[in-house]
Structure 1
Amino acid sequence: MNTFLHTIRRAAGVLLAAAALQPTAHAANTPPAPQPIAATSAIRSHTIEANGVELHYLQAGHGDATPVVLLHGYTETSHMWQPLMTRLAGERVVIAPDLPGAGGSAMPASGYDKKTMAQDIHAMVRALGYRKVKLVGHDIGLMVAYAYAAQYPDEVESIVLMDAFLPGVGDWQKVWLLRDKWHFNFYGATPEQLVRGRERTYFEHFWNDFAADPAHSVSEADRRYYSAQYARNGRMRAGFEYFHTFTQDADDFAAFARTPLPMPMLVLAGERASGTFLIDQAKLVATNVQGVVVPGAGHWLMEEAPDATMAQLVHFIDATSSN
């Protein structure tokens, strides 16, 4: 993307925020007071301009080991990764950005296909002075992680995909998460008006129905936090675009899959969610795949099975270190 397109993309994002109907443009781009960061000052909040988009990110840790980039999914933000960040930060830098359109990051008017979002995250990584990274992605974040690794394979030391699916790969239309794929087409003026002021009601569908047990899914405090984050002016519209672009993602991923990824890949899936589906997909796009089904868990692995999930992540990330 050249400098002119960067400028147009940023300007269009400003117009998108200004066109929304509720608070002022300033309020639309300013998050509500966040919850305390993981009870530790070791995790710090930053913003950076990358690929024409202002991205908010959390950062922790130091050391010479390969940095880890954590990519969140829909209905969540970088906030979800704080418990893992404190576990990984002993020997390396750990970075958790808010995806474009989410959290404290800007809302570009376009570019929500995962190929472009991966380019945004890559530009952030390079702007921070890093070349090679380890990637971890959950839900929409795993799609961005895959698109990153497919476009920059020499710059990815390892990759983790966590419970969802890869559009355009294999028999992707039959994945468990597509049992009620109505929300893929739930975008535009009418859906925005229907959900406005009812963001939590909408998100409860995902947090409850995609969990093995809604009582052990996303916590009450986090439900309030994420609902407030996405309720800010224009954020739901941006979130809907993550699904609206699946047709483009499917075309891009089908093309990416023709060149299998060579780096080590771990796939973590909930027994009561994706099961072995994502593992099977991963074997179609990569040559070095480890698959783990987390017993009893649904889609929200970090919330439903935090100890088992983080143990797998830490072990894999440490085991694949080249430093």
Structure 2
Amino acid sequence: MPGVRRSIDETAILVDGPWRHRFVDANGSRFHVAEQGDGPLVLLLHGFPEYWWTWQHQLPLLADAGFRAAAVDLRGYGASDKPPTGYDVYTMAADIIGLIRALGERDAIVVGHDLGGLLGFAAAAFHPASVRRLVVLSSAHPLRQRAALAVDPRGQLAASRHILAFQLPRFEHVVTRDDAVMVANLMRAWAGPRWRETPEFAAYVRMCRDAIQLPQAAFCALEAYRWALRTSLRLAGRRFVRLLQQPIRVPTLQLHGERDSCLLPRTAQGSGRYVTANYEWRLLPEIGHFPQLECPELVTSEVVRWAKD
């Protein structure tokens, strides 16, 4: 019935497969990780409104290529802990480094999509010794995204209307209303036209609608976006900008869908100015906001190429 929230628990998202599910403690919280393969660690970070399942194709492909692939549920998402605080970029970047340590490694190849890409940039800036290489999908350097919101009102600011709405009190109830129909609408708007009409897209959206309705998940998901705007004019925000102005010394590959209407290509492309290490930019024709799902083989081959370079 419209307006009635479905009863969902974490078992709904612990999908069986060739991977194994495990829980690890890092940075004071418990995180769920789906892991497959042996070799150098590739840590996979999802975006909003997703969870580890966005990397369903990359886990076996990376394992076959000789890597240990680990897809994590970020703080507040999926089967990971959902504490009421800790959704600032400093803490979430520290979560990534803590996860690398908890998985028994000193460093990792970090692959991030959307929010995960932004956190990947932050982790590489704050903790460069722990990030061997960085691959960013459908995201931008935090300072580049911040600038685009200010100088591109008809472009990136208009595309970010959902982030402005997230600032409203109790908006998490709007996100989960009517079986999380807002999640379905956002994902349909952001997806590339070819993938949008496939049965896989419909099944994936259904999984994300379920995941965002886990207890406290919607609130936690919005808190990261609320922190970014709340602190923009405060001391913490100025400190954040100052720290991120340090050049990134981690080799970085950016993959971006030509049809991405959530994070515009022209916004993402300006991120290279913050990277002083080896940097590559690749625009993916006819692909929307979810390249890891829309063209999984291509994305995986690019990750493997970058990791082995």
TM-score (norm 2): 0.85
How far residue 252 of structure 1 moved from its aligned partner, in angstroms, is 5.5
Amino acid across the alignment from 2:269:
I
Partner residue of 2:220 out of 227, 238, 245: 238
SS of alignment partner, residue 308 of structure 1: helix
- CA separation in 2, counterparts of 1:181 and 1:104? 27
Could you tell me which runs of 5 or more consecutive residues in structure 1 were left unpaired when the two chains were aligned: 1-21
- CA separation in 2, counterparts of 1:253 and 1:270? 28
2:274 corresponding residue in structure 1: 284
- CA separation in 1, counterparts of 2:305 and 2:108? 16
Decide whether aligned partners of structure 1 residues 314 and 199 sit closer, same or farther in structure 2, where only a CA change above 3 A counts. Answer: farther
2:254 corresponding residue in structure 1: 267
1:193 corresponding residue in structure 2: 173
Partner residue of 1:142 out of 114, 117, 129: 117
1:31 corresponding residue in structure 2: 10
1:255 corresponding residue in structure 2: 242
- CA separation in 2, counterparts of 1:205 and 1:224? 12
Partner residue of 2:21 out of 28, 31, 45: 45
* Aligned pairs for 1:155-170 within 5 A: 155-169=130-144
How far residue 300 of structure 1 moved from its aligned partner, in angstroms, is 1.2
Asked if 1:171 is matched to 2:150, the reply is no
Decide whether aligned partners of structure 1 residues 285 and 103 sit closer, same or farther in structure 2, where only a CA change above 3 A counts. Answer: same
Mean Cα displacement is larger for which, 108-117 or 97-106?
A: 108-117
SS of alignment partner, residue 11 of structure 2: coil
Amino acid across the alignment from 1:33:
A
How far residue 82 of structure 1 moved from its aligned partner, in angstroms, is 2.0
Q: Deviations over 1:14-39 (max 9, x none)?
A: xxxxxxxx89xxx88x40333643xx
Asked if 1:208 is matched to 2:188, the reply is yes
SS of alignment partner, residue 56 of structure 2: helix
Q: Greater relative contact order: 1 or 2 (C-alpha under 8 angstroms, separation 6 or more)? A: 2
- CA separation in 2, counterparts of 1:277 and 1:189? 28
How far residue 113 of structure 1 moved from its aligned partner, in angstroms, is 1.6
How far residue 233 of structure 1 moved from its aligned partner, in angstroms, is 1.5
For the 8 Å contact 1:269–1:276, the answer to whether it is kept is: no
- CA separation in 1, counterparts of 2:20 and 2:85? 28
- CA separation in 2, counterparts of 1:268 and 1:217? 25
Asked if 1:88 is matched to 2:46, the reply is no
Asked if 1:305 is matched to 2:295, the reply is yes
For the 8 Å contact 2:148–2:156, the answer to whether it is kept is: no
How far residue 208 of structure 1 moved from its aligned partner, in angstroms, is 1.4
For the 8 Å contact 1:140–1:242, the answer to whether it is kept is: no
Could you tell me which runs of 5 or more consecutive residues in structure 2 were left unpaired when the two chains were aligned: none
Q: Deviations over 1:158-209 (max 9, x none)?
A: 1011112233337331385532433223245542333334353111232111
SS of alignment partner, residue 86 of structure 2: coil
Decide whether aligned partners of structure 1 residues 254 and 95 sit closer, same or farther in structure 2, where only a CA change above 3 A counts. Answer: same
Decide whether aligned partners of structure 1 residues 290 and 281 sit closer, same or farther in structure 2, where only a CA change above 3 A counts. Answer: same
How large is the RMSD of aligned CA atoms in angstroms? 2.6
Asked if 1:56 is matched to 2:43, the reply is no
1:71 corresponding residue in structure 2: 45
Mean Cα displacement is larger for which, 104-113 or 246-255?
A: 246-255
- CA separation in 2, counterparts of 1:305 and 1:178? 27
Q: Deviations over 1:237-271 (max 9, x none)?
A: 11111211223486465323332112211000111
1:4 corresponding residue in structure 2: none
For the 8 Å contact 1:48–1:124, the answer to whether it is kept is: yes
SS of alignment partner, residue 136 of structure 2: strand
Q: Deviations over 1:61-90 (max 9, x none)?
A: 113xx3110100001101111211111114
Decide whether aligned partners of structure 1 residues 191 and 304 sit closer, same or farther in structure 2, where only a CA change above 3 A counts. Answer: same
Asked if 1:227 is matched to 2:227, the reply is no
1:11 corresponding residue in structure 2: none
For the 8 Å contact 1:57–1:78, the answer to whether it is kept is: yes
Amino acid across the alignment from 1:89:
A
Partner residue of 1:107 out of 82, 89, 97: 82
For the 8 Å contact 1:294–1:308, the answer to whether it is kept is: no
How far residue 290 of structure 1 moved from its aligned partner, in angstroms, is 0.2
Q: Deviations over 1:283-318 (max 9, x none)?
A: 224432100000111111122222322222222222
